[in-house]
Amino acid sequence: MSTTATDYYELLEVSRSATPEEIKKAYRRLARELHPDVNPDLEHQEKFKRVTAAYEVLSDPEKRQMYDLGGDPLSNRGGGGFSGGFDFGDVMDAFFGGRGGGQRRGPRGRARRGQDALISITIDLQAAVFGEEKEIAVDTAISCEKCTGSGMADGTEAATCVMCKGHGEIQSVQQSFLGQVMTSRPCPACQGFGTTIPHPCVECSGQGRVRHRRNLTIEIPPGVDTGTRIQLQGQGEAGPNGGPAGDLYIEIVVRGHDLFERQGDQLHCVITIPMTSAALGTSINIETLDGPEDIAVAAGLQSGAVVTVKHKGASRLRSGNRGDLFVHINVETPRKLTAEQQTLMQQLAEMRDEKPNTVVTRAESPGVFSRLKEAFTNK
């Protein structure tokens, strides 16, 4: 889908039967002539781009063949031809080493955005489920109050750099395999700023920022879990010389709980009840994060059974909805029986026609145990 009938051979001033070596030579000659450091005007730069695109096609055997057959190997760049997204800085680097022609020139500003900061806080499960307002100490760079971020002592000004005369870069002529090439690099005297600070602010040593410990009150939303990061815009490190501050990230660690194990928005706990309660059925008062709660134990409840308490689990981040609490119930077999209890037990067994050597096989039993196991191991 070529829109420009550009003759790459003509651009490189070579014949259609030129060898790869001839093409390379031609490009080097043109690049030297059109190099943006030598001829920075727009017209030359445009021509340089076109020549570079031609070289890109003709130096690649596959692209050259495609081009020779009437296709345009650069047409799939959206825009077709030279203008679309071609990074000739890469080609420049390959040929000249160092910066290409596409970079910004002139002095760079001193102010830069500060870095993001990350701190980690540990909260308990209660806070993770219900949310919490918390005061934390944060240690970051803040803008220097004394010089308001400029880095300069009161009443003084920045001076134009004598080495680069304010350009921020030093140009030099280098010998390369292409011959003489003009290159530029950031000025070492002013680090490319174009100015120096003759009288730095004593408070911040000219950095425009100082380290400072402050207290921040943060809002922990319901539903956070270990690994959740809360982003506080502009609360990170202040930028050098009045630059904007980065963001502050607060990484949450949720402390383990004595009773509850969390899995996403579910909470699990294990309770043990006497065999007689399981057999007869009862109501048991258990501890939840929301306070005491009665749960019903149906008569005949088996060890490993799970009772679900709706909406008493952990919360989901953002929606605030609560998951469920799963109460895993162990039934305890009596450990020590008095002589009287033993007799009663034997009577019960006889009444129930339960022989001492009977094995009760229940198909669902393994399922119950694996579900319980799953609940505690699949984290």
Residue among 186, 10, 210 at smallest CA distance from 98: 186
Size of the site for Zn ion (CB under 5 A): 12
State in angstroms the smallest separation of the CB of 146 from Zn ion.
5
Please tell me whether residue 297 binds Zn ion under the rule CB under 5 A: no
CA distance 373 to 111: 57
Contacts by 75-78 with C-beta closer than 8 Å and gap 24+? Answer: 75/1, 75/2
DSSP 8-state secondary structure symbol assigned to residue 180: E
Which listed range, 26-34, 54-62, 183-191, 291-299, lies at the site for Zn ion (CB under 5 A)?
Answer: 183-191
State in angstroms the smallest separation of the CB of 242 from Zn ion.
10
C-beta of 187 vs 254, nearer to Zn ion = 187
User: Per-residue x/- marks for Zn ion, 126-165, CB under 5 A?
Assistant: ------------------x-xx-------------x-xx-
Asked whether the beta carbons of 315 and 129 are under 8 A apart, the reply is yes
Dihedral over alpha carbons 165, 170, 174, 180 (to 10 degrees) = -60
Q: 202: burial class by Cβ within 10 Å (0-12, 13-18, 19+)?
A: exposed
Which listed range, 21-29, 42-50, 182-190, 305-313, lies at the site for Zn ion (CB under 5 A)?
Answer: 182-190
State in angstroms the smallest separation of the CB of 124 from Zn ion.
41
Phi, psi at 215, each rounded to 5°: -100, 135
Q: Is 159 helix (H, G, I), strand (E, B) or coil?
A: strand
Please tell me whether residue 203 binds Zn ion under the rule CB under 5 A: yes
C-beta of 22 vs 203, nearer to Zn ion = 203
Q: Which of 136, 189, 344, 348 binds Zn ion (CB under 5 A)?
A: 189
Please tell me whether residue 187 binds Zn ion under the rule CB under 5 A: yes
C-beta of 184 vs 288, nearer to Zn ion = 184
Site residues (vs Zn ion, CB under 5 A): 144, 146-147, 161, 163-164, 187, 189-190, 201, 203-204
